């Protein structure tokens, strides 16, 4: 199976460890992973801030880069939701504006074969126990776009529950937004920060050492808040936990 | 404070103030979390909730698609039942009609049923300017009116007040408006309710004119419906000699039977009740029972313009349950006043900039008053995809484009203040369309990583004021990949 890793621009630039973890994990599960070097950004920040026309060339670019793969896997619920939920809308809107169905046709093949990492593991590979070892108390934050955009459901939890040594602590108010929201974090900084602080306090109340999520953008906001508050907790991407083994444990 | 919304600061500034107010934060958090949990239980009791939600969406969409036909039918039915229908294109016209109708009765005071439409047109202020005093009779609206305050929630206008604050308002202000509060008023709910009951009963028994809105208007019979919890609305609807109802045109439903869906979804979504305690229905006039004169003022005020927008029109499905407010993390922290509109929260953020246009600073900021978390869409009983409309309106703010204002097609210019952002978005798009440029930028960032501060000056301060920036890694992923081709040639 020829699978493309769509790492996302944020992970590529700021969180390469997450990318390495996905490669290590998928390779361990027998998947042949490629990283198309021409990939850049899905355009979510543009689209969600109101620059739909700036997002369109990036959607075209995405379809060019990933068209020929059997599956496209991304360790980001929000970028996954951009491709799966919002790309079809981009195509429809272009058509409604009388610009033909070129974009819709270009996106049609890539949209259904784009998977968020946990979907790919559970639905395509059919595994929940990925042979991971992670001896820490962990609480899981289901990010909004993963939870409500993609409908990841209990897939991430099932994966975490199967990790050896991991103790899963229930996060109060788990379904509530952490306050990141892309440019929302800058445009409405006060509300965003207040939401972040509440999320960190809820996470701290679990007594966990680690807050885990499947989206580094949310973790950047939550982790930045933890750092500022001097919290003892760490943000860790789910992929890094699943990639961790007894032979090669993650920190 | 009860003036108009003109001159309201944009949402981020208003919200910043609210976030710093610990009493407000505490009141809002307590109230929204309580109702949120109750709503989830009430909705969870119905096995066919998803079907009801879909039925509500379809009834509303069908009605909106044929609204012209149903409004004509409604006018015929109301007229046949002895009522009089007035058409108001905007707030000023509606206020003029109501003021003239009240003047014609010779009265100088009216009692009011809680109504969002009359709040929207600022009817109380218009009546006051004409020398007519309007008494709010809904308990929460009474608290807001006595406190010279503004509603902060669609369903619970005084959600931002706690019992102690309400006691103080009653003790200090009731005497100004009528029967004073008892000397020994405490802040227990029973005491506060009794003080309000005695104060309001005087008004009900004396008033000759009542003013209401309506939750629904049934086209086939000309029946108007108000659902409420206190029964104060019912007193206003039945005791006065003249009843004037001001209702947005989108409140129409075709048939009596359509109510079956909404009378289940509305109370469960709003107050988390299986059925609302009082359902009042009135059809024109009836001899020797209820008001002898009935006037229906059908309010447009931007609704037809909203209907012309293929993405934004779904906001007109709204049945004002306020479930989206109660579940919204932004509303919970910012409170209703920050939205500068009688419709706060997620629905207000999409409704107000459509009804009023995106011309003012506050209206241009409202589509951004959301983290797009999607909780509002999930709870909406008529399935309004609020995040979709928010993004659509953001596009209108930053890029301009076609819209309909007062029935005319217009080409909107982008709102002011987005030039730098637009340039940055275009630059980012350019870099992302050129992988080489992205890579050069990443390498530069990695090479200079030790020089990067954890906090930022300028516009970046908005981020680093409350959060530390992540450290830039020594090597972006793509360089590692190229160097090792996925770790195959030995890692690091």
Q: How far is A95 from chain B (nearest CA, A)?
A: 14
Nearest CA in chain A to B476: A13
Which of B367, B264, B368, B370 minimizes the C-alpha distance to B321?
B264
Chain B residues 380-419 within an 8 A CB cutoff of chain A: 388, 391, 393-399
Residues of A whose CB is below 8 A from B11 = 188
Average pLDDT over residues B420-424: 83
Q: Say if residues B291 and B187 touch (Cβ distance below 8 Å).
A: no
Nearest CA in chain A to B387: A48
Pairing type for strands A137-140 and A167-169 reads parallel
In three-state secondary structure terms, A23 is helix
Average pLDDT over residues B188-202: 95
Phi-psi region of B294 (alpha: psi -120 to 50; beta: other; left: phi over 0): beta
Residues of A whose CB is below 8 A from B457 = none
Q: Directed axis angle between helix B22-44 and helix B259-270, to 10°?
A: 140
Measured CA to CA, the distance from residue B275 to residue B369 in angstroms comes to 32
CB contact under 8 A, B466 and A228: yes
Q: Say if residues A72 and A114 touch (Cβ distance below 8 Å).
A: yes
Q: Is the ipTM of this complex over 0.90?
A: yes
Q: Say if residues A177 and A149 touch (Cβ distance below 8 Å).
A: no
Q: Does B462 touch chain A (CB under 8 A)?
A: yes
Q: By mean pLDDT, which of B223-237, B352-366, B460-474 is the weakest? A: B460-474
Higher-confidence position of B406 and B265:
B265
CB contact under 8 A, A14 and B378: no
Q: Does B86 touch chain A (CB under 8 A)?
A: no
CB contact under 8 A, A12 and B394: no
| pLDDT score of B3 more than 80 | no
The pLDDT tens digits of the residues spanning A146-159 come to 999 999 999 999 99
Which of B293, B277, B296 minimizes the C-alpha distance to B285?
B293
Q: How far is B57 from chain A (nearest CA, A)?
A: 20
Question: CA angle B66-B72-B76, nearest 5°?
Answer: 145
Residues of A whose CB is below 8 A from B435 = 37-40
Interface-testing mutation among B18, B481, B490, with chain A (most A C-beta atoms within 10 A)? B481
Q: What is the largest CA-CA distance in chain A?
A: 57
- Report how far apart, in Å, the C-alpha atoms of B275 and of each of A169, B217, B252, B272, B283 are: 38, 19, 21, 9, 22
Average pLDDT over residues B140-148: 95
Measured CA to CA, the distance from residue B83 to residue B282 in angstroms comes to 10
Measured CA to CA, the distance from residue B357 to residue B365 in angstroms comes to 12
Q: How far is A191 from chain B (nearest CA, A)?
A: 6
Which of B377, B418, B383, B421 minimizes the C-alpha distance to B400?
B418
CB contact under 8 A, A12 and B442: yes
Residue positions counted in chain B: 492
Residues of A whose CB is below 8 A from B395 = 50-52
CB contact under 8 A, A148 and B374: yes
Chain B residues 10-39 within an 8 A CB cutoff of chain A: 11-12, 15-16, 19-20, 25
| pLDDT score of B450 more than 80 | no
Bridge partners, B248 (sequence order): B299
To the nearest whole number, what is the mean pLDDT of chain A?
96
Residues of B whose CB is below 8 A from A184 = 368, 370-372
CB contact under 8 A, B12 and A190: yes
The reported pLDDT for the residue numbered B489 is: 63
CB contact under 8 A, B477 and A11: yes
DSSP per-residue codes, B184-241: T--SSHHHHHHHHHHHHHHHHHH-SEEEE--SEEETTTTEEEEEESSSHHHHHHHSSS
Nearest CA in chain B to A16: B477
CB contact under 8 A, B429 and A54: yes
Chain B residues 89-118 within an 8 A CB cutoff of chain A: none
| pLDDT score of B169 more than 80 | yes
The pLDDT tens digits of the residues spanning B298-330 come to 999 999 999 999 999 999 999 999 999 999 999
Beta strands in chain A (DSSP E): 2-5, 32-34, 71-74, 114-116, 137-140, 167-169, 210-213, 234-237
Residues of B whose CB is below 8 A from A187 = 12, 368, 462
Q: How far is B302 from chain A (nearest CA, A)?
A: 22
pLDDT band (50, 70, 90) for residue A58: very high
The reported pLDDT for the residue numbered B249 is: 98
Nearest CA in chain B to A145: B373
Residues of A whose CB is below 8 A from B465 = 189, 193
CB contact under 8 A, A27 and B487: yes
| pLDDT score of B182 more than 50 | yes
Q: Does B467 touch chain A (CB under 8 A)?
A: yes
| pLDDT score of B459 more than 70 | no
CB contact under 8 A, B467 and A227: yes
Q: How far is A29 from chain B (nearest CA, A)?
A: 15
DSSP per-residue codes, B417-445: T-HHHHHHHHHHHHHHH-HHHHHHHHHHH
The pLDDT tens digits of the residues spanning B228-262 come to 999 999 999 999 999 999 999 999 999 999 999 99
The pLDDT tens digits of the residues spanning B26-63 come to 999 999 999 999 999 999 999 999 999 999 999 999 99
Residues of A whose CB is below 8 A from B438 = 9, 40-41
Q: Say if residues B296 and B245 touch (Cβ distance below 8 Å).
A: yes
Measured CA to CA, the distance from residue A219 to residue A211 in angstroms comes to 8
pLDDT band (50, 70, 90) for residue B449: confident
The reported pLDDT for the residue numbered B2 is: 38
CB contact under 8 A, B477 and A191: no
Which of B313, B320, B324, B385 minimizes the C-alpha distance to B355?
B313
The reported pLDDT for the residue numbered B451 is: 76
The pLDDT tens digits of the residues spanning A186-220 come to 999 999 999 999 999 999 999 999 999 999 999 99
Question: What backbone torsions phi and psi does residue B156 show, to the nearest 5 degrees?
Answer: -120, 80
Which of A191, A192, A176, A188 minimizes the C-alpha distance to A224?
A192
């Amino acid at each position: 199976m020829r699978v493309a890793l769509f790492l996302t621009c944020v992970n590529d630039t700021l969180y390469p460890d997450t990318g390495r973890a996905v490669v290590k994990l998928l390779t361990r599960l027998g998947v042949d992973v490629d990283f198309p070097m021409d990939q850049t950004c899905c355009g979510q920040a543009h689209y969600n801030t109101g620059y739909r026309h700036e997002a369109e060339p990036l959607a075209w670019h995405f379809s060019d880069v990933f068209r020929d793969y059997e599956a496209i896997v991304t360790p980001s619920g929000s970028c996954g939701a951009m491709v799966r939920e919002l790309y079809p809308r981009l195509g429809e809107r272009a058509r409604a504006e009388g610009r033909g169905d070129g974009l819709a046709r270009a996106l049609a093949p890539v949209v259904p074969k784009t998977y968020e990492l946990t979907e790919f593991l559970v639905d395509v590979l059919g595994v929940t126990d990925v042979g991971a070892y992670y001896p820490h108390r962990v609480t899981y934050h289901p990010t909004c776009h993963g939870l409500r955009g993609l409908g990841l459901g209990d897939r991430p939890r099932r994966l975490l529950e199967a990790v050896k040594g991991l103790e899963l602590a229930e996060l109060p108010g788990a379904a509530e937004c952490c306050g990141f929201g892309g440019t929302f974090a800058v445009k409405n900084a006060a509300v965003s920060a207040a939401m972040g602080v509440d999320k960190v306090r809820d996470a701290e109340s679990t007594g966990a050492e680690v807050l885990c999520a499947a989206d580094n953008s949310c973790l950047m906001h939550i982790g930045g808040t933890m750092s500022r508050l001097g919290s003892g907790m760490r943000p860790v991407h789910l992929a890094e936990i699943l990639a961790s083994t007894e032979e090669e444990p993650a920190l | 404070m009860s003036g108009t919304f003109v001159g309201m600061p944009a949402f981020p500034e208003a919200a910043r103030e609210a976030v710093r107010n610990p009493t407000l934060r505490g009141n809002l958090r307590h109230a929204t979390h309580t109702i949120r949990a109750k709503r989830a239980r009430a909705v969870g009791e119905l096995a066919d909730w998803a079907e009801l939600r879909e039925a509500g969406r379809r009834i509303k969409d069908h009605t909106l698609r044929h609204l012209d036909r149903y409004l004509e039918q409604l006018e015929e039915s109301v007229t046949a039942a002895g009522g009089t229908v007035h058409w108001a294109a905007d707030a000023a016209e509606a206020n003029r009609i109501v003021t003239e109708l009240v003047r014609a009765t010779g009265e100088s005071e009216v009692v009011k049923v809680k109504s969002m439409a009359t709040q929207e047109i600022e009817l109380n202020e218009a009546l006051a300017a004409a020398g007519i005093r309007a008494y709010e009779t809904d308990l929460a609206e009474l608290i807001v009116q006595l406190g010279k305050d503004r509603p902060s929630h669609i369903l619970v206008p005084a959600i931002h007040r706690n019992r102690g604050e309400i006691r103080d308002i009653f003790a200090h202000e009731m005497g100004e408006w009528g029967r004073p509060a008892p000397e020994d008023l405490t802040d227990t709910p029973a005491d506060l309710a009794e003080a309000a009951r005695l104060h309001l009963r005087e008004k009900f028994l004396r008033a000759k004119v009542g003013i209401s809105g309506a939750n629904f208007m049934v086209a086939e019979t000309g029946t108007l419906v108000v659902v409420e919890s206190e029964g104060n609305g019912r007193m206003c609807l039945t005791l006065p000699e003249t009843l004037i109802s001001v209702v947005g045109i989108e409140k129409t439903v075709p048939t009596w039977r359509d109510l079956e869906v909404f009378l289940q979804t509305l109370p469960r979504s709003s107050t988390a009740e299986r059925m609302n305690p009082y359902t009042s229905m009135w059809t024109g006039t009836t001899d020797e029972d209820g008001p002898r004169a009935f006037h229906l003022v059908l309010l447009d005020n931007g609704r037809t313009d909203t209907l012309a927008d293929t993405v934004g029109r779904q906001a007109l499905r709204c049945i004002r349950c306020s479930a989206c407010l109660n579940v919204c993390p932004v509303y919970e922290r910012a409170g209703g006043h920050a939205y500068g509109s009688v419709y706060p929260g997620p629905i207000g953020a999409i409704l107000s900039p459509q009804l009023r246009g995106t011309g003012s600073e506050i209206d241009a900021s409202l589509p951004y008053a959301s983290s797009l978390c999607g909780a509002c869409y999930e709870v909406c009983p008529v399935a309004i995809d609020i995040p979709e409309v928010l993004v659509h309106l953001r596009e209108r703010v930053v890029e301009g484009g076609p819209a309909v204002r007062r029935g005319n097609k217009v080409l909107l210019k982008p709102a002011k203040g987005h030039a730098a952002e637009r340039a940055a978005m275009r630059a980012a798009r350019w870099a992302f369309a050129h992988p080489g440029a992205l890579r050069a930028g990443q390498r530069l960032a990695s090479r200079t990583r030790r020089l990067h501060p954890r906090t930022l000056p300028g516009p970046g301060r908005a981020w680093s004021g409350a959060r530390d920036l992540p450290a830039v890694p020594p090597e972006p992923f793509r360089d590692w990949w190229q160097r090792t081709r996925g770790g195959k040639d030995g890692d690091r």
